[in-house]
Amino acid sequence: MKSFIVGTAGHIDHGKTELIKALTGVDTDRLKEEKERGISIELGFAELDLAGGITAGIVDVPGHEHFIKNMLAGATGFDMVLLTVAADDGVMPQTIEHLAIVDLLGVQEGVVVITKADLADEDMLELVKEDVAEALKGTALADAEVVVTSSRTGQGLDELRQAISKVAERVSLRDSEGFFRIPVDRVFSLKGIGTVITGTLWEGSVADGDEAVIQPAGRKVRVRNIQVHGEDVDQARAGQRVALNLPGISKQEIERGDIIGSLPYLHPSLMLDGYLQLLKTARPLKNRARVRFHHGTREVMARVILLGGREQLAPGEEAYVQYRLESPIVAIYGDRCILRSYSPMTTIGGGVVLDSRPKKHRHHQASILEPLQKRRQGNVPELIVLIIEEKKMPLTRSQLLLLTEIKEGQLEQALAELLSGGKLLQLPGEGQTYYVSPPLLETLLAELVDLTGRLHEANPLKPGVNKEPLRQRMEEDLGGEVFEALIKAAASRGEIEIEAGRLRLPGGGRSLSERELAEKEVIRKTIIEGEFNPPLFKELMQVSGLDKNKLRDLLGILIEEGEIEQLNPEFFLAKGRLGEAEDRIKSFLAQKERLGVADLRDMLGASRKYSIPLLEYFDRKRVTRRDGDYRVSY
Ligand SMILES: Nc1nc2c(ncn2[C@@H]2O[C@H](COP(=O)(O)OP(=O)(O)OP(=O)(O)O)[C@@H](O)[C@H]2O)c(=O)[nH]1
Ligand SMILES: [Mg+2]
């Protein structure tokens, strides 16, 4: 069953509330002040039963220019508008302003209702119709059906119902899949029940027991008890007016303007990039102008940065802009917003949010225009590639979901398309797959290869470069897992070699100069000739005249080559010596019960300085076991 919201719009006193009453029997003016003044102030709500068992949610808005803010909070959820124009009054300022607002909000469908027909004769009606047709030119409602009604006599009401049903067939359905989002329009608390919020379910569906977050505060809540059209339901879906009971939170913790939802990527922003259309009726808009920014049911103050260096926007012009918000807005890519001037409070324009996580752009920065243009074109595959290239790193599905702010289904479809078209490549990571565009992969691999070569050149005695310092030197802040995936890609393409966790260029290895080879030989010989009393590290430094880093590198190479063995950081022996010592100790202990330091000296010629670390080494190796001052068989 289709769910959608029908909203009213039109100048004050043009019969909106009376029309809803005539259609539904509900008087949506509930406030005492509304009754006393005979005008609507707040949003009114009702349900309209249509043919085929369809029930539409009705939102009635106030026409008074002082309450445009309330009108906006209602209009943000409209799927269809009933634009009312009184037959005895014609098109008036708020007719025009409301029309501009619903147009900027992207409301594509509606019916024009000429009300109070009982107060006008045929000639007047004709004039008003012409008036209306003129006002609708160039808007989404230009071809909307026009119905003449009187709430007093009942004229035209059936015709209007039919017109609404007809439009309802065309209204594009909001997406009810998955995560939900509701801009809160009312908050109240009911005795014995607690805090209740109402709003129009913008997207997704919400079920009893669902977890949700109130933004921008980030407060987690659980949804209990959902009502649609005054009845308890287990689940509500996009396009319905809903009331949610939120146990455990007080009325003070949530207000009109907040967004409640389960979308994983809902987040408060103090900057937004967008595309702005300035109304023809507006005054020129200067760069950095301070305006009222409306999104969902919220109004905040903002400055408009005209991007690309424009100093001023003329009426009717359009531009890419950055909004600098004075309080957070919780918007996502593709959302609509409305701008009103600070004073006088009139609607001056609006448009679409293109980036909810933008960097700060300078007024003159022209490079931002192209990516924003791509975002506006809304080609999802292109958007994905754009985001990967903007981030300059391979991204996972969940990162892409977060950054594109599109639906999972859309992402899947676009990824499949991009992969099969060769526009994206997959990089398999440990737990997840990364997606990268071929040009970005080339850039990253070239950087990796270049850095590997340069770092290795700086340390030619090493067999290669360690990963971590490499990762840290990469220009992009790549995580360990994605860096590992990149290394694998480079290795599988033969652009680097990996040995014992170290990277080098193919066939690179270490390169020792003639002199270093000679130095290494001196060290080797010295250690061999030292038998069981070789010079320790410090003495080796003196003998060879090398600094400690160089000596350590050369010793490392000798160990890798199997020429020497290391007992502790100071103590190195020629290969074979340790085996020899082990054999002798074992055969000694096969005949004698215990072995002392003096025995070892006699056996190997090792002085006390060397015997102790040797014995400790064999203890660790579980050849011997310490027993007082002696060693016994393990
Ligand atoms: N004669 C006649 N009067 C009407 C008709 N519809 C509304 N009215 C009167 O017009 C006045 C304004 O009607 P509302 O329905 O409150 O107008 P509104 O558009 O809701 O006004 P706001 O919400 O304040 O913008 C009321 O006094 C109604 O009784 C109609 O069809 N015929
Ligand atoms: Mg009203």
Residues 265-293: tens digit of each pLDDT = 899 999 999 999 999 999 999 999 999 99
Q: Mind listing the pLDDT tens digit for each residue in 72-89?
A: 999 999 999 999 999 999
- DSSP notation for 263-319: -TT---EEEEEEEEEE-TTSPPEETTEEEEEEETTEEEEEEEEEGGG--EE-TT-EE
Contact 306, 287 (CB under 8 A): yes
How many other CB atoms sit within 10 Å of the CB of residue 277?
20
> Residue 173: which of 237, 224, 241 has the closest Cα?
237
157 lines ligand 1 (CB under 6 A): no
Q: What percent of the chain clears pLDDT 70, i.e. is strictly above it? A: 100
Q: Which ligand has an atom closest to residue 154 CA?
A: 1
pTM of the model: 0.80
- Burial bucket for residue 376 (CB in 10 Å: 0-12, 13-18, 19+): middle
Helix, strand, coil share of the chain (percent; to 5): 35, 30, 35
Calculate how far, in angstroms, residue 344's C-alpha sits from the geometric centre of ligand 1.
26
Specify the ligand 1 atom closest to the Cα of 115.
31
- C-alpha 30/C-alpha 343 separation (Å) is 30
pLDDT, residue 611, reads: 87
Q: Which ligand has an atom closest to residue 86 CA?
A: 1
Q: Whose CA is nearest to atom 3 of ligand 1?
A: 116
Specify the ligand 1 atom closest to the Cα of 63.
25
74 lines ligand 1 (CB under 6 A): no
Q: Is the pLDDT of residue 1 over 80?
A: no
pLDDT-derived band at 17, boundaries 50, 70, 90? very high
| H or E element at residue 420 | helix 408-420
Specify the ligand 1 atom closest to the Cα of 61.
23
Q: Is the pLDDT of residue 430 over 80?
A: yes
Q: Is the pLDDT of residue 407 over 80?
A: yes
Q: Positive or negative CA dihedral for 323, 324, 327, 332? A: positive
pLDDT, residue 173, reads: 82
- C-alpha 7/C-alpha 27 separation (Å) is 15
pLDDT, residue 264, reads: 81
Specify the ligand 1 atom closest to the Cα of 64.
25
How many other CB atoms sit within 10 Å of the CB of residue 32?
8
- C-alpha 369/C-alpha 518 separation (Å) is 62
**Which residue do the tokens 């990253």 mark?**
444
pLDDT-derived band at 501, boundaries 50, 70, 90? confident
Q: Mind listing the pLDDT tens digit for each residue in 538-583?
A: 999 988 888 888 899 889 888 888 889 998 888 999 988 989 999 9
pLDDT, residue 160, reads: 97
pLDDT, residue 602, reads: 87
Q: 100-104, 269-273, 461-465: which has the minimum mean pLDDT?
A: 461-465
- C-alpha 244/C-alpha 248 separation (Å) is 13
pLDDT, residue 560, reads: 83
Angle at 389 between CA 423 and CA 449, to 5 degrees: 90
Calculate how far, in angstroms, residue 154's C-alpha sits from the geometric centre of ligand 2.
18
17 lines ligand 1 (CB under 6 A): yes
95 lines ligand 1 (CB under 6 A): no
pLDDT, residue 289, reads: 97
98 lines ligand 1 (CB under 6 A): no
522 backbone dihedrals φ, ψ, rounded to 5°: -60, -45
28 lines ligand 1 (CB under 6 A): no
pLDDT, residue 477, reads: 87
534 lines ligand 1 (CB under 6 A): no
pLDDT-derived band at 52, boundaries 50, 70, 90? confident
Indicate the average pLDDT of the chain.
92
How many other CB atoms sit within 10 Å of the CB of residue 361?
22
Q: Is the pLDDT of residue 506 over 90?
A: no
> Residue 246: which of 262, 224, 220, 231 has the closest Cα?
224
Cis geometry, peptide bond prior to residue 371 (ω within 30 degrees of 0): no
Q: What percent of the chain clears pLDDT 90, i.e. is strictly above it? A: 72
pLDDT-derived band at 609, boundaries 50, 70, 90? confident
63 lines ligand 1 (CB under 6 A): yes
563 lines ligand 1 (CB under 6 A): no
114 lines ligand 1 (CB under 6 A): no
Specify the ligand 1 atom closest to the Cα of 11.
25
Q: Which of 8, 16, 18, 82 to mutate to test the pocket of ligand 1 (most atoms within 8 A of CB)?
A: 18
Residues with CB under 5 A from ligand 2 (ion): 16-17, 40
- C-alpha 119/C-alpha 459 separation (Å) is 94
Specify the ligand 1 atom closest to the Cα of 34.
24
Q: Determine the average pLDDT of the residues in 587-597.
A: 90
Q: Which of 17, 19, 95 to mutate to test the pocket of ligand 1 (most atoms within 8 A of CB)?
A: 17
What does the CA dihedral 87, 88, 89, 91 come to, rounded to 10 degrees? 20
Calculate how far, in angstroms, residue 93's C-alpha sits from the geometric centre of ligand 2.
16
Cis geometry, peptide bond prior to residue 216 (ω within 30 degrees of 0): yes
Q: Is the pLDDT of residue 167 over 90?
A: yes
Q: Determine the average pLDDT of the residues in 182-194.
A: 92
- C-alpha 436/C-alpha 427 separation (Å) is 7
Q: Measured between alpha carbons, how far is residue 578 from residues 533, 560, 569, 623, 627 in Å?
A: 13, 16, 16, 12, 22
Q: Whose CA is nearest to atom 7 of ligand 1?
A: 15
Specify the ligand 1 atom closest to the Cα of 149.
31
85 lines ligand 1 (CB under 6 A): no
Calculate how far, in angstroms, residue 194's C-alpha sits from the geometric centre of ligand 1.
36
Q: Determine the average pLDDT of the residues in 149-165.
A: 96
Calculate how far, in angstroms, residue 17's C-alpha sits from the geometric centre of ligand 1.
7
Q: Is the pLDDT of residue 509 over 90?
A: no
Q: Is the pLDDT of residue 252 over 90?
A: yes
Calculate how far, in angstroms, residue 341's C-alpha sits from the geometric centre of ligand 2.
24
Residue 358 is classified by DSSP as P
- C-alpha 587/C-alpha 592 separation (Å) is 9
Question: Would you give the distance in Å from CA 183 to the centre of its chain?
Answer: 19
266 lines ligand 1 (CB under 6 A): no
Contact 161, 127 (CB under 8 A): no
377 backbone dihedrals φ, ψ, rounded to 5°: -65, -25
